[in-house]
Amino acid sequence: MNETSSRKSIGYWSAVSIGIGGMVGGGIFAVLGLAVELGQGETPIAFMFAGIVALITSYSYAKLSVRYPSEGGTVEFLNQAFGSGLVTGGLNVLLWLSYVVMLSLYAYAFGSYGSTFFPESHQAILRHVFTSIIIVLLTVVNIVGAKVVGKSEEWIVGFKVAILLTFIGVGIWSVKIQQFQPTVVSNPLQLISAGMIIFLAYEGFELIANTANDVKNPEKTLPRAYYSAVIFVILLYVLIALVTVGNVSIDTIVQSKDYALAVAAKPFLGNFGFNLIAVAALLSTASAINATLYGASRVSYIIAKDGELPEILEEKIWNRPIEGLLITSAFTLFVANIFDLSSISIMGSAGFLILFGAVNASNARLHQKTGSQRWISILGTIVCSTALFALIWYTVNNSPKDLFILAFMLCSAFGVEFVYRKFTGRSITKIHN
């Protein structure tokens, strides 16, 4: 027991850093403009709504991570609660697809911010060029060896958080209160929908679950790390939204929504601020792509090992799941270059709301084994379901074509699982008893 404990290398602050790094990986740089377009003057409230959903869900993740520590994280939790049925398999495939969508969002943001350094007439095509280049480049990095980039990850996380705190610290003094005129509060469902479309900006806290095997004193460390990371990011996002809406007109933000955070820094930091945020966005999204590619390829490996994806994805070259990495990258190239920011956000947010609702349901079902207050996880399931309904409602009324994209993503996840099971008969393997 002591020998096992001595091998554990992740303490409280490291776990919190992983959670914060996952959430502030690139999402805020990508979705801030979209959030303002939808939430208008109430954008900070929209971020608060999305954060509350994440915070309630973090309770289930904390309890399940302590009871079932595994690099599989979400995959293992669903397997434990629902066994080897079609639902579990489909949800696990949906998890991998949602990672692809997250990668696409980060790559889209990288391309958008990268193109701002060039004349406006060339930005549209350069966004696609930079989007594609960063995916291919970091795929090669992951194949050759991601250790160098991995070692710099903590420095990159520290740098981007420092830049965002500087943005808040300087910009908060020039906020104009009149900018926060109520515009959509008369329709609460629209405001909740705005929060849910940008929900994927909070997704990364679940990365803590994948490190649970290496956490020191997990019973105390994991819950504290989850809650600290989510609460910190809620405050960070709400303050960023306050500074953005309080300094720049809604129309200006919407016109430049693909790189809104850089535009928001201009009134009080000038061109230097614009460029500083743009550079921070490039570093942040690149590191997020690298980390997510690394994680997504291993998720595909774990799912394949569990019997839910083709056996070829179990094969490793140079001790890395290369096939899973290449397939993940190929799908990411397609999604990032074909769909716009709104479509990508809707797909990603919906995917993770479904998965987080399922994780809450898993903990409610396993509450005796995890020592949980069942009502909290039931509340989490209800909140995620309500949030998903609000997102679908918005999509039906404002962007019905995206509903077909979402339906296709869900049908693909469960359809692939159904067909594959029928022809192979492979079953899921649990890691823990």
Question: What is the C-alpha to C-alpha distance for residues 414 and 418, in angstroms, rounded to an integer?
Answer: 6
Per-residue pLDDT at 432 exceeds 70: no
pLDDT band, very low/low/confident/very high, at 1 (cuts 50, 70, 90)? very low
The answer to whether position 205 is within a domain reads: yes
The answer to whether position 429 is within a domain reads: no
pLDDT the model gives residue 237: 93
pLDDT the model gives residue 160: 81
Total domain count, the chain: 1
Mean pLDDT of all residues in 96-121: 90
pLDDT the model gives residue 321: 55
Per-residue pLDDT at 6 exceeds 50: no
C-alpha distances in Å from residue 70, one per residue of 18, 76, 206, 260: 16, 7, 12, 38
Better-scored residue on pLDDT, 350 or 321: 350
Question: What is the C-alpha to C-alpha distance for residues 219 and 241, in angstroms, rounded to an integer?
Answer: 34
Question: What is the C-alpha to C-alpha distance for residues 183 and 202, in angstroms, rounded to an integer?
Answer: 25
Question: What is the C-alpha to C-alpha distance for residues 144 and 294, in angstroms, rounded to an integer?
Answer: 12
Name the 3-class secondary structure at 10: strand
Better-scored residue on pLDDT, 323 or 206: 206
pLDDT band, very low/low/confident/very high, at 3 (cuts 50, 70, 90)? very low
pLDDT the model gives residue 302: 58
pLDDT the model gives residue 4: 47
- b/e map of 173-188 (b: 16 or more CB within 10 Å)? eebeeebbeeebeeee
Percent of the chain with pLDDT over 90: 29
pLDDT the model gives residue 285: 86
pLDDT the model gives residue 14: 82
pLDDT band, very low/low/confident/very high, at 426 (cuts 50, 70, 90)? low
| Distance in Å from the first CA to the final CA of the chain | 18
pLDDT the model gives residue 174: 87
Name the 3-class secondary structure at 101: helix
Go through the chain and tell me how many residues it has.
433
CA proximity to 77, closest of 251, 340, 343, 306: 306
The answer to whether position 215 is within a domain reads: yes
Per-residue pLDDT at 2 exceeds 50: no
Better-scored residue on pLDDT, 376 or 4: 376
pLDDT the model gives residue 280: 87
Mean pLDDT of all residues in 254-281: 89
Per-residue pLDDT at 428 exceeds 90: no
**What's the pLDDT tens digit per position in 188-243?**
777 788 888 888 889 888 888 877 778 888 889 999 999 999 999 999 999 999 99
The answer to whether position 432 is within a domain reads: no
pLDDT the model gives residue 149: 46
Contacts of 328 (CB under 8 A, 6+ apart): 96, 99, 100, 103, 293, 296, 297, 300
CA proximity to 207, closest of 294, 280, 304: 294
Per-residue pLDDT at 152 exceeds 90: no
Mean pLDDT of all residues in 71-75: 77
pLDDT the model gives residue 425: 59
* CATH code of the domain covering residue 349: 1.20.1740.10
pLDDT the model gives residue 5: 46
**What's the pLDDT tens digit per position in 9-60?**
678 888 888 888 878 867 788 888 888 888 888 889 989 999 999 999 999 9
pLDDT band, very low/low/confident/very high, at 313 (cuts 50, 70, 90)? very low
pLDDT the model gives residue 18: 80
pLDDT the model gives residue 301: 54
Per-residue pLDDT at 132 exceeds 60: yes
The answer to whether position 430 is within a domain reads: no
Structural domain boundaries enclosing 52:
2-424
The answer to whether position 98 is within a domain reads: yes
Percent of the chain with pLDDT over 70: 83
The answer to whether position 337 is within a domain reads: yes
Better-scored residue on pLDDT, 60 or 393: 60
The answer to whether position 394 is within a domain reads: yes
Rounded to two decimals, the pTM is 0.85
